[in-house]
Amino acid sequence: MSSRSVKILRGLALLAAVFAFGVVMFGAFVRLSNAGLSCPDWPTCYGKVSWPEHQHEIAQANQAFPDRPFETHKAWREQVHRFLAGTLGVLVLALALIASWRRPWARYAVILGAIFAAGGISFYMHGEHMWSSVLSAFAIGLPLLAAIGLDRPGAWRISVLALAVIIFQAMLGMWTVTLLLKPIVVMGHLLGGITTFALLAYAAMRFAGVGAQSDSHAALRRLVAIGIVLLIAQIALGGWTSANYAALACGTDFPKCLGQWMPPTDFKEGFVLWRGIGVNYEGGVLDMAARSAIQIAHRIGALVVFCYLAWLAHKVSRRGLRGFGFSIAVVLVCQVLLGVSNVHFGLPLPVATLHNGVAALLLFVLLATLARTQRKPSDTMFQNLGRPV
């Protein structure tokens, strides 16, 4: 593959990663402002591509969805988020196509995956849910197989994998609405967005040549990978806390909860992942003991992650990567301060939204550190990229 193609991939991956970060932030804003069900249908909003704006359209919307009266200040947020996510999908599709272009079988898999995804949406809008599910499964499976079988360096395969992830992410967005904010789906949707951002950011770094000339920092790879796993688990726990409306289950007390070190809790009820179909989870369905259990678990997880990443920052700095270690430490402290501020100030929307964004930023710093400990692709490997198979 020519250096020009690599530059295009690098630029497109960087653009998509920045855009994905914005989508994650805006998605957090939508979720935290309780606008997740402000458009009761999908992918339209009260049957419109945008959202109802005129009085007669609003009247028609309220008549069509009497259980979900139209709210302008919320509906635009949800639909704009869908527009942004769709734009990101186009960017990722372009990235996957370029990354797989010189391998015909992989290129066709990506193209067919995109066609099946579009068909799945069309069938869903016409009420053919079974056929929609079948086409969506193919839409995810084809680029996934292409990513696994593609004989390219990791960044190329990750670029194709991102397409499979974002198609599944679109399905999670649909289920978030149709399953009425089911917590496991809302948490999965958050993780899908974070995963998409992480894949694109890592691919952009590798396309940009982030890496080492030798294996002098190889001993750090496993330690950084453990930190990434712990952080993703904590992000999932944060998503579960938000999806169950448990962010203020301990009131505004910190480090105590409801004025106690160990208030009444119900961990078993708080972590039931599946509760059936048809329940509206807007506002939450758990009692205070279950929500307190979730909040306390989130705090314990935060403590574990803080201790490990603080140690990792020190370890990375001592091994000669001071800039990376310093970055981990600074972003980590900011994230903890935002978490405490969320509780102390009663979950203000700007702080809560920023808490989500800084979590993604902390993941980015860890991924950059991981990339820095890995070897760059050899010159021979890059020279062989243009050979068709």
Distance CA 164, CA 180 (A): 24
* 183 contact partners, CB below 8 Å, separation of at least 6: 240, 243, 244, 273, 281
Own/partner contacts of 7-13, CB < 8 Å, gap of 24 or more, are: 8/98, 9/95, 9/98, 9/99, 9/155, 9/156, 9/159, 9/203, 9/207, 10/204, 10/207, 10/208, 12/91, 12/94, 12/95, 12/98, 13/95, 13/155, 13/159, 13/200, 13/203, 13/204, 13/207
Is 53 an annotated catalytic residue? Answer: no
Quickly list DSSP for 196-248. Answer: HHHHHHHHHHHHTT-SBSSSTTGGGHHHHHHHHHHHHHHHHHHHHHHHTT-TT
182-186-188-191 Cα dihedral, nearest 10 degrees: -170
What number of other Cβ atoms are within 10 A of residue 321's Cβ?
A: 22
From the candidates 53, 57, 71, 78, give the one annotated as an active-site residue. Answer: 78
With beta carbons less than 8 A apart as the criterion, state whether 290 and 269 touch: yes
Task: Report, as residue numbers or ranges, the catalytic residues.
Answer: 78
